[in-house]
Every structure is written in structure tokens, then in C-alpha cells.
Structure 1
């Protein structure tokens, strides 16, 4: 395939040996649907953690998957290397759709993801009224919002989408520069708070919608600016959310992601339903590239105190397409 690196014969044989075992093949099939933690894989496959860890170690050493520690947890995903990724995708695609073990794994995977979603939804419902207060316990919102306004600028935009709108604060913050806006969230409790806040602020050119942020109910090329503010760390697969955001961006549109830098505050998992303990610049750049966007800027805002160890990062990406005489064109790159 054009543009994809090739593997040596030895590397291919090593990869095939690693994949050529039932449990490891099942792991590759599961990770092809998105990254998972060791805990998730143990629950889905019904095997002990030491055994699953051994299989993961062999697949990692063969270059087929990548290991990403986050505090006390470790996440795994298919290799970002084009050749290894293509090999895994081809191997998984060869399986028949009615394979009983793979079908069972998919059912258990769906159950694990439902459990994660229910945990997050329950947390949001219980804390909707105090959401802004909870978020401000770690990083001052005023500093974050000032940085967001600075990186976006004051140039008017046509349409704005706030993914995971929560209390609707981003719809308020950017109200002076957009003509119309939509805030989408899966939590009805959050949406009720957002609607009340917009009414109180007298903002009539924004609307609130209930929907799945992983499958946005909007057509392609719909928005000039999309924001994902303190949302990705609640998700099982942040890359999917970024890809969806890129899908609804118009040519030359911008995506603003705001989230935590990597940290080790494990209590955020249990008390505040965080799935991920922050994101590195390298990880975010990789996801942005995969989504077909170009990273334009990244800004770190220092933690409030050394004890809290929390830093907020802003990433600004752009859709490299542009419009000439009414037609969308791809941006030429060297």
C-alpha cells in the first residue's frame, strides 16, 4: 500500500508468531475496536491479570500493540506504526463474522463500555448542579478561560459546537463571537443546568441537544469551531471523539481541546469517574494527526500547587482543507 512502511521478513515472522495464539488473537481483535486497560481485558476475556499481562507483553515486544501507563493503570492500543497496524487490521479482518469466541468478546466489550458509561452518567447526574465548582478545585477556571479566549481570538465565526457541554459554560464564553452554537451532552441532568444557565445569561443564539459525543448527530462539515473542554479524560477512547469532532469541522475550521496534562492523582478515577489521567503532547498530536487535522498550537497552564500536580493544556488544531471558488480542496503538503 502506497505510503506505508514495509516490514522485514524477520519482523513479519515475529509478529505472526506473537499473533498466532488464540488469546492473543482475541486481544488484537478487541484492541482493533479501541484502546483498553488491563482491567478491561481481564474482565472481557475471563482470565487472570498475570496471564493477560504476559500475552500483552509478547504482543508489545512484537511491535503489534503499544503500552501506555497512566498512574496505576496501563492502557493498550494497536501500534501507531503503519506497517504493524496494517498487519493487525488484515489479520483481524480475515476472521469470519460468526466466530463464536470473537462474538462473545464483542458482547463483553459492549458490556464493559456500558458499565463505564453508566458510572460516568451517574457521577454527572449526582454532581450536575455543582459541576463548575468541582472542576475549579484543581485549576482556576478564570485562567483557563482567559487562555482559551486568547488562543481563539476575537474574529467572528459562523457556527460553534461545544462537545460535552456540561453546564454550557463554553457557550457563554464564546457567545460574543459566534452567530449560532450547539452544545451537546449525554447527561440530561447536565443539559437542564446548561439550559438554565443560557436562559439566565440571555443567550438566544445557542441551543442544547442531547446526544452521543462519540456519534455526533450532525452532518459532516457543519462547524467553524469545535471545543472539547475537560471531556476526553472521561472517555474510553478519546481518539474516536477527536475523529468525530474532525468530521463535523468545516474546511479551515478549528478544534480546541482543553484537558489535563499527564498526572498521578489516582483518586480522580474513583471519586470523579476519570478514565484517563491526562494526556501528553505526543499522544494528543498523534490523535490529531490521525483525525486528519494539523496541530497549530499547544499551551500548558501551570498547576495551582505542587501537591495537586495538575496542569491544564490547550491544543488548537485546524482542518487543512480550504475552499476555492466554492469547492473544497485538500491542502498540499511537502
Structure 2
């Protein structure tokens, strides 16, 4: 308790915790949000991490900080602590700066996919190979009336999804990607597929409008994965299924630039915890082993509680 109170007894550290209760952020992003030098930010982060207030996740050369659970006393007082943070004079500006940092991530991703839409299928397949998994992913889709695929990309899965549901909706934030998907479904005669422009964090579909949501190699491109999972939970009907495939944790740092990856894959327990926190139950994760030169894949199925 004494260590915690000492760690929190600084206005800058209070602001840091307040920002990191909203999103996982890097040191570089935090320097911009608080308008302070990197050495000062790093010193404060070290104090908060040692006190168990924050945890750090290292991905390649980047370190992501977030509010942790390493201090039981902090966990106990956290609800009231978050309420008191709203009284900080810099609070509104800090929250606006966090939003700008996440928007910058989203904008970089959008620009990349608009630029590389026509070459995306070849680019992703050759630069970061994965073992075959699509049959197992499709096998997890339950019999429902409406399937929603987020991050539909060039629409490679749409023909198969149209065999599983009477109505298929594909959402992507890149107009260029949607045009590639539109050409694919038009040439294939898949009249049951409907394409919509939208963000993963603000899906263009009503509450409970889908019986199943598919996220195929999408979450590692998300600026804020927890927000995406919460939005998926919103659009699923009660008992609806989340079916997802994504990369297991890897160390290919170049994927950030060459494939616009926000995250270098995910740890199984981390992903399971996020999904459960978003309001899902019966979370199942299967790891598909990698062959030579490939990266393992995590297949997920969960049910909205």
C-alpha cells in the first residue's frame, strides 16, 4: 500500500495512469499525449510498473504499457480512482490526445490498405506465410441467418460465407479494398453478399444484428483490440458466435511497416482474457502449428453471454 501511494503521489504519474486506463500505448505515444520528454516519461513508467500499477508488453523493439493487476490494493481502489481522475485539470486534453494517437494508428492502416489493395492477397501470402487453416475456421461457423465479416479485405472468404448464411455482410474501412471485394463477388455471382464501408470500432450494423461475426486475420491490424471486441459483442445477438483467426505472437518486426500490422500477433492467454472481458463465454482457442518459414495461427470461437 505504501509503495502504491508513493507511486501515485505525482501529477504526471496520475495523468499517465489515466491515459493507460483508456488504451495500451507506447512510450513515444505517451510523450506526445502528455507533451513531455521521453526520459521523464520513461522514469515515471518505471516507478508505476515496479509498483504494479502498470504492466508492459514488449513486441519486437516496441513496448506497450497498460494498466495492470500487479497491485491488489490498486485493483481494490481502481473504481473510485477512475472517478477522481476526471477532476484532473488536464483530463479532457489528455483524453483528446489519446483519441488522436489511436486515430493516427487507424489512419496509417487505412492509407496502407488503400495503397496496396490490388496486391494485398499476394503480399500477405508471400511475406508472412501461415499454415492452412481456412477449412477449420469455416467449420466453426454455426447455422445462423446473418454472418458479418469485419475487415473483409478483398473478399476472399465471401463466396464460402455465402454458403453458410442467407445474408452475408462484409465491412472494411478501405474503399479500395471494398472495390476489390465488389469485383470478386460480382464475377462470382454471389448476390447474397452486401458490402459496407465502416470501422471495426463503429460497425455499420444495429445492436444484435448478426448471428455470427467473422474476424479473419484482422485483430492484429486494430489500433485498439479491446474496443473492437466490445463492438463485436454489441452487434451480435444473444448467444451469437465470434469466430476468429489471428497470428500467434511472433518477432517479425518488419511486419509493422510492410504489412501495416499494429501488433506482432497475440499470446493465447492474453487473447482469451480480452475476449472474456468483452462479454463472451465458452472461449475456445486452438493453435495451428507452423511449418517451415510459417507463423502459427490461433483459431478462436466464443459465444456472447
| TM-score (norm: length of structure 2) | 0.92
TM alignment of 1:1-334, pairs within 5 A: 11=1, 13-80=2-69, 84-85=74-75, 87-96=77-86, 99-137=88-126, 138-140=128-130, 143-152=132-141, 156-306=143-293, 310-320=295-305
Contact 1:64 1:88 in 2 (8 A): no
Seen in structure 2, the aligned counterparts of structure 1 residues 197 and 80 have a Cα distance that, compared at 3 Å, is farther
Q: How far is the alpha carbon of 1:213 from its aligned partner?
A: 1.1
Contact 2:276 2:283 in 1 (8 A): no
Secondary structure in 1 aligned to 2:272? helix
Secondary structure in 2 aligned to 1:265? coil
Contact 2:102 2:224 in 1 (8 A): no
Distance 2:89 2:81 in 1: 17
Seen in structure 2, the aligned counterparts of structure 1 residues 24 and 229 have a Cα distance that, compared at 3 Å, is same
- List runs of 5+ in structure 1 lacking aligned partners: 1-10, 321-334
Q: How far is the alpha carbon of 1:201 from its aligned partner?
A: 1.4
Q: How far is the alpha carbon of 1:110 from its aligned partner?
A: 2.8
Aligned residues: 303
Seen in structure 2, the aligned counterparts of structure 1 residues 230 and 52 have a Cα distance that, compared at 3 Å, is same
Contact 1:288 1:295 in 2 (8 A): no
Secondary structure in 2 aligned to 1:169? coil
Seen in structure 2, the aligned counterparts of structure 1 residues 291 and 95 have a Cα distance that, compared at 3 Å, is closer
Distance 1:284 1:175 in 2: 28
Seen in structure 2, the aligned counterparts of structure 1 residues 215 and 186 have a Cα distance that, compared at 3 Å, is same
The ranges of structure 1 where at least 4 consecutive aligned residues each deviate by more than 6 angstroms after the TM superposition are none
Distance 1:233 1:96 in 2: 31
Distance 1:187 1:220 in 2: 23
What are the superposed Cα offsets for residues 256-281 of structure 1, whole Å, 9 maximum, x if unpaired? 12111000100011222211111011
Secondary structure in 1 aligned to 2:166? strand
Distance 1:90 1:218 in 2: 34
Secondary structure in 1 aligned to 2:190? coil
Contact 1:172 1:203 in 2 (8 A): yes
Q: How far is the alpha carbon of 1:198 from its aligned partner?
A: 1.1
RMSD of Structure 2 on Structure 1 (CA)? 2.1
Distance 1:279 1:22 in 2: 33
What are the superposed Cα offsets for residues 32-81 of structure 1, whole Å, 9 maximum, x if unpaired? 22111122112222333332222112212222222111111111112257
Contact 1:36 1:236 in 2 (8 A): no
Contact 1:269 1:275 in 2 (8 A): yes
- List runs of 5+ in structure 2 lacking aligned partners: none
| TM-score (norm: length of structure 1) | 0.84
Contact 2:220 2:262 in 1 (8 A): yes
Seen in structure 2, the aligned counterparts of structure 1 residues 280 and 269 have a Cα distance that, compared at 3 Å, is same
